[in-house]
A and B are shown apart, each in its own frame.
Chain A
């Protein structure tokens, strides 16, 4: 039986509880240190499937007022894929006109998630 513990800081409120998550054979068996239910949920998700929205910028061509447009992953991606997302966007350039929500790069880094514009240009 492989038992592992992970130390995390809960982000749900300014309290910032220090969580200790116990994992036995890949299954979360206990979350300790939290003072509310949200800490338990956060602790379990953070060790089993941590995800993040990635936001960055890409250059835009043909706009008279913008050099860059901001973009984001349309939904959260695995935390471990953050740098793959950024790397996949290196060299990607948008062409004006761009509207908020336009897909800039589909299925980024094989995550199944699109990168969309968050600014018009």
Chain B
């Protein structure tokens, strides 16, 4: 039986902050045939469970909670009449942009897309990714799972809590669990610095007298049916536990906040080239992946610190997807390669076609360590064209530089743009 295939112009995979902003931008760029596919029963993605405030300072100049931030974008999508299919899981994307979905009301269906925007977000690093020995008792949750249980389901995962990893979700959950009556004993962080925002350390830990143990990790988990205690030890500069420093913390719950991983199973299966550093797709200036007409944005592309930047980036991807679907992308010309070195871990995008870039292009990156009084330098081949001093840079915060199209066009021979940190 020949399969039925529906034809749509722009198909957005994921209805979180990235998918919403991409769909809205695609529509506003003149492509009204836009479809959002979302596996949850509502739009908004992870923002629905991020009930704390602090979202939208850049975008709306006010501090919103996650659900409020999401609601602004959902309202705009409603206003434009952008179609969305909820409870719809994308199970495959082919390299010729046929998107296969599964849902209770439609069963399996196939959509041939003029352009696809990947906006699937990220997932928490699970316990299995950590080399923590012991049984597998109940009471070990990723911080985001606990956040969902408390904020969406109204269920408390436990009462005596230890948190491993000082990512922002872990910090936020330390405060949240405390408000809900739990006792959070400490947050252990294996690195000598926190991966979370300073604001969260002060307002989620210091405000409640919760100690942050830097250069510490969990070495043992006690309990067979349920967590009964965890052991925490100091680690040396090679992240090896220092003998004799182990302390036992009786508890019933261990929350893990040990990193986020872009969720690229669909991208990989489609044959999209993945950057081993970001674990997200390699993209060009239009946020287009190695498969023509397939774009990526938000946390599936690289894990962001602020949702405001997700929205901004996703809008670029949505606009580019609309132009592609309408045949307006233009011919590709020679690309300039971006190189990240000397403390800069990666750049997004990886290549820039000066003919196709906008008047300005934001290049986002992260640094690999805490750097004080260093310069962010941009080199066009061997010539230094930007040199900006930063008081401090940390791995937990995204950095960016802005490139001007005119500057690239003025150098027709340009082959490499290098972004690096310099001491002077």
For the complex formed, measure the closest distance between the CB of B140 and the CB atoms of chain A, giving whole angstroms: 23
Please tell me if the beta carbons of B51 and A57 are within 8 angstroms of each other in the complex: yes
Question: Who on chain A is nearest to B68 by CB?
Answer: A118
Whether B154 and A68, one on each chain, are in contact in the complex, defined by CB atoms closer than 8 angstroms, is yes
- How many chain B residues sit at the interface, stated as a range, is 35 or more
8 Å CB interface, B51-96 against A: 51-53, 63-68, 71
Produce 1/0 per residue, A88-121, CB < 8 A to B: 0000000000001000000000000000001110
- Name the CB-closest residue of B to A58: B154
> Contacts of A2 on B, CB cut-off 8 Å?
none
Report the Cα distance A23→B25, complex, angstroms.
52
Q: In the bound complex, do residue B51 and residue A65 qualify as a contact, i.e. CB atoms below 8 Å apart?
A: no
Given A56-B51, A65-B42, A14 and B71 touching (CB < 8 A)?
Answer: no
CA distance A54 to B199 in the complex (A): 15
Interface size class for chain A? Answer: 20 to 34
Kindly identify, within residues 12 to 62 of chain B, every residue whose CB is under 8 Å from any CB belonging to chain A: 41-42, 48, 51-53
A59 on interface, CB distance cutoff 8 Å: yes
How many angstroms from the CA of A15 to the CA of B207 in the assembled complex? 19
State how many angstroms separate the Cβ of A69 from the closest Cβ of chain B.
Answer: 8
In the bound complex, how far is the Cα of B396 from the Cα of A67, in angstroms?
Answer: 33
Tell whether B337 is near chain A: CB-to-CB under 8 Å: no
Chain B residue nearest to A83 in the complex (CB): B179
Whether A70 touches B65, Cβ cut-off 8 Å, given contacts A15-B392, A35-B391, A100-B71, is yes
Q: Are A100 and B68 also in contact (CB < 8 A) when A9-B198, A15-B391, A16-B198 are?
A: yes
Judged by a CB distance under 8 angstroms, whether B385 is at the interface is no
| Residue pair B153, A67 in contact (C-beta under 8 Å) | yes
- Docked pose: A79 CA to B154 CA in angstroms: 25
Q: Which of A13-30 contact B (CB under 8 A)?
A: 13-16
| B396 CB contacts on chain A under 8 angstroms | 14
Taking a contact as CB atoms under 8 Å apart, the answer to whether B391 and A68 are in contact is no
Question: Given A53-B63, A67-B153, A68-B152: A120 and B71 within 8 A (CB)?
Answer: yes
List residues of chain A with CB within 8 A of the CB of B53.
53, 55, 72
CB distance from A74 to the nearest CB of B (A): 11
- Give the docked Cα–Cα distance between A56 and B53 (Å): 10
Q: Does B270 contact A (CB under 8 A)?
A: no
Contact B51 A79 (CB under 8 A): no
Instruction: Given A9-B198, A118-B65, A118-B67, check contact A70 B151 (CB 8 Å).
Output: yes
B residues neighboring A (CB under 8 Å) = 41-42, 48, 51-53, 63-68, 71, 150-154, 176, 179-180, 197-199, 201-203, 206-207, 391-394, 396-397
Interchain Cβ contacts under 8 Å between A and B, 10 examples: A11-B199, A11-B203, A14-B392, A14-B393, A14-B394, A15-B391, A35-B391, A56-B176, A67-B154, A119-B71
**A residues engaging B (CB < 8 A)?**
8-11, 13-16, 35, 52-57, 59, 65, 67-68, 70, 72, 79, 82-83, 86, 100, 118-120
Please give me the 5 A-B residue pairs with the lowest Cβ-Cβ distance, nearest first. A70-B51, A119-B67, A11-B199, A118-B65, A16-B198
Known contacts A53-B53, A68-B154; 17 further A-B pairs (Cβ under 8 A): A9-B202, A9-B206, A10-B198, A15-B391, A15-B392, A35-B391, A53-B63, A57-B154, A67-B152, A67-B153, A70-B51, A70-B67, A83-B179, A118-B51, A118-B65, A119-B67, A119-B71
